Amino acid sequence: MSEVTVKQLASTVGIPVERLLTQLNEAGISASGADSKLTEQEKLQLLGYLRRSHGKDEEDAAAAPNQVTLKRKSVSELRQPTAAPRSGTAGARPAPTPRSGKTVSVEVRRKRTYVKRGDESSSGSSRRQSGDRSRPQRERAATANAVFDEARRRAELEAMRAEQEARRLAEQEEQERRAREEEQRRREAEEARRQEEEARRAAEEEARKKAELEAADRKPAERKPSERAESPKADKGEGEAGSTGARRADSARPKKGVKKTVEPAEKERAAKKGVRKEGGRMRDVDVSTRTDYEEVDGSAGSGRGLRRKRKSLKPQLQDKHAFQRPTAPVVREVELPESISVGELANRMSVKASEVIKELFKQGMMVTINQNLDRDTATIVVEELGHKAVVADERDAEGTLLDDLQEQEGQFEALQRPPVVTIMGHVDHGKTSLLDYIRRTRVASGEAGGITQHIGAYHVETDKGTVSFLDTPGHAAFSAMRARGAQVTDIVILVVAADDGVMPQTIEAIHHARAAGVPLIVAINKMDKPEANPDRVMQELTQHEVVTEEWGGDTMMVKVSAKAGTGIDELLDAVLLQAEVLELTAPVDGPARGAIVESSLDKGRGPVATVLVQSGTLNRGDVIVSGGEYGRVRAMFDESGTSIESAGPSIPVQVLGLSGTPNAGDDVIVVDDERRAREVAEFRSARTRLSRFEEQRGASLDQLFSQLKEGEQKSVNLIVKADVQGSLEALKDSLIKLTNDEVKVTIVSSGVGGITESDANLAVTSNAIMLGFNVRADASARRVVEEKGIDLRYYSIIYELIDDVKQAISGLLSPIVTEEIIGLAQVRDVFRSSKFGAVAGCMVVEGVIRRNNPIRVLRDNVVIYEGALESLRRFKDDVSEVKSGTECGIGVKNYNDVQSGDQIEVFERTERARVL
């Protein structure tokens, strides 16, 4: 055994700790307290001391006992419940008076003896030792030591086994005792509950009997008077000795005039009296007819073949359902998002969808189960149905991402960043040429038609510092693109030609810059031309509240020449000076945020997006989400096509790896993992698709009755494909603006990239015109176009595309009809003719009267008839026309009420084609 403490040894032996400490000190063992530990040698030393103190020699003290006897005694109590009184059985003895339950003490004694296995060998060795006393003393001592060691080891093992067996038996007895106590408590609880139930039933039965007796006493008038009169006489005729028995019999008999209630117990007693036979046989029949006994095997028990069945506690509740219908209406708190469908709203209120639809019908809304409702409408429906509306916490995937980004904004140090400059101005005022001179490249030579069709993003390393430029197109169709350029920029350079002055697109650029709240720097270009007049330009800019610093304003104005290169350094100085005043800063570390400047679909590289980084650092391999698209940055290139690994604030880069082409102007956010980016992108795509569906549906419902009333509206279906997203949006905006009351421009499909076979098949089914802007159709699409005869047109300049669509729409417009009065005749007299009826003798006052033209008859300057001439005569001759100042006879067709003093007005209708 391992070391034990003094306290544990005292508990095992069964003596007090103080006594054990005294014995240890007497045996020469140092033990300071109850927590001192004792080794095996010290325990054997104590055992030897105790044996010597009881008169045993050293040899006996060292010997182990031959057997160990363990005695255990446990006492438990059994509570015997009181037997329930038996009633209602014919011939049964009276029930004993109830008394408290009897408690019986049960004592269990157990005795186990463990015999030492090595007794025979030990006794044999002892005999051999006694028989060999003639051997030398040294051999006897060695043999004695060996025997002593073996005996001590076996004694230790036997003691350890005995202690473990005793502990196991004690635990087993303790578990049995607890189980018996638990079973006893359960039986007592069941017995108490059964007695309480029987007492309650007895009380209810007694109350019912008392109520019946009281009801019978309230009707004494039902008894006959003769019976009431005879009743006292009969009582008086009885003897004094039998009066008590008579009263007992009267009380047992039912009263006259009262209906006797036969109890089930009485019926049972009567039935058993009729079948009573012999004594022993009667007992068998009597018990077997009872329903509260069941037959069991009597051989194994006490000889009884029948035993009493336990009564069920509440048999009347066994067949009832556990659900209880609520008596009060359930009021629920319904969380309402910004938009919710009718079916989802019904589910959250736990009502049928038909009830929600019926409630909406009452409010004048014709809806279906899949239609979405706004929050205000849903709130009204919820309150009308008796529930409480609660605004839902709309922390969706996008909201959670934006909140996380806002928390991270202040964690990184903001450093100075380069300015982002947008160049704006009218068409052909030299914006791209100016930027071309700064970059020392020839960008303008590659532009179709000499104008910029896309937004270009460049960053330029100059001696003054790094500047990022955004070159936006100057055509009016790209106003939306210019607006996006102003929203992401810090400074706007307004380029105005010195020989042309302020133009409409120049004014739009001023409005965009002012709406974005960015400072403006005016660059007066083309100063090398002889007809340049910068004073006129400055004078025209003052009309739009743009006043130069030379005239006391706050706008810097620089005179430059993109062709000669004059004034470029002064322009860059002005840009950097304005940037220092603005104190432009952005965090360099942390996740990147930016905006999409342009996006396109490359056949070899897939979606390509031009991203302007606004804060943080965009690295290759980052997971980004932009609008409804997401992806991992597989590669990044600068404006010259060089691959780069990272881009800091104010640096535009081209990014590969997105799932699609995002819209120009969408934000770019770096997220932690691709799963989260996919969730945000799918949420945005679903929201955009839903809003587009609602807009189309709303427009169709609003225009339904007007179209039915005015006839079918003419429409021009278009399929537009462009090379980049920005050009596509500009084309769509310009084409949709061509819609008027008679002709509607419908863009059936639009996209970035080449024209495919699916686009051609869609054009066949929708009878649409296909327009390609800087894109071409593939072989399969060309084959479908040739077979079906689809109208396919290619364009590289936006003017030509819009003009052609205008001409197509103009061909569908109804012509413009104008009326012109060419003559006026005054009626002097009316003649009657058998052939022509009433003929008016007239004098031509103005213009000329022609026979084939329509006329109107005016009386007091009011039109009373409109028709045609039947005859026009000059004397007896028919003439085709009569000029002013000449008399003539006029016969009006199908009208005979011409009177003297009327006027006949002759006019002609002219038609001309309508143009947009």
- Binding-site residue ranges for GTP: 425-432, 471-475, 525-528
Asked if 882 and 871 count as a contact pair (C-beta separation under 8 A), the reply is no
As to burial, measured by CB atoms within 10 angstroms (0-12 exposed, 13-18 middle, 19+ buried), residue 854 is middle
Asked if 574 and 521 count as a contact pair (C-beta separation under 8 A), the reply is yes
Whole-angstrom CA distances from 228 to 225, 255, 450, 549, 562 are: 5, 11, 135, 134, 140
- Structure tokens, 587: 């965090």
3-state SS assignment for residue 870: strand
906: closest CA among 866, 861, 862?
866
3-state SS assignment for residue 9: helix
- Contacts of residue 476, defined as CB under 8 A and 6 or more positions apart, other chains included, come to 504, 505, 508
Quote the strand ranges of 835-880, DSSP E: 837-850, 854-859, 862-874, 877-878
Asked if 817 and 780 count as a contact pair (C-beta separation under 8 A), the reply is no
DSSP 316: G
The angle, 0 to 180 degrees and rounded to 10, between the axes of the packed helices 342-349 and 375-384 is 40
Asked if 494 and 424 count as a contact pair (C-beta separation under 8 A), the reply is yes
H-helix segments, 532-673: 534-542, 568-582
Asked if 825 and 888 count as a contact pair (C-beta separation under 8 A), the reply is yes
Asked if 812 and 916 count as a contact pair (C-beta separation under 8 A), the reply is no
**Number of C-beta neighbours around residue 39 at 10 A:** 13
Asked if 421 and 492 count as a contact pair (C-beta separation under 8 A), the reply is yes
Asked if 422 and 481 count as a contact pair (C-beta separation under 8 A), the reply is no
557: closest CA among 532, 535, 580?
535
Where residue 540 falls (left for φ over 0; alpha for ψ -120 to 50; beta otherwise) is alpha
Distance (Å, whole) CA 93 – CA 181: 34
- C-alpha dihedral over 578, 583, 584, 586, to 10 degrees? 170
The string of DSSP codes covering 445-497 is GGSGGGS--S-EEEEEEETTEEEEEEE---SGGGHHHHHHHHHS-SEEEEEEE
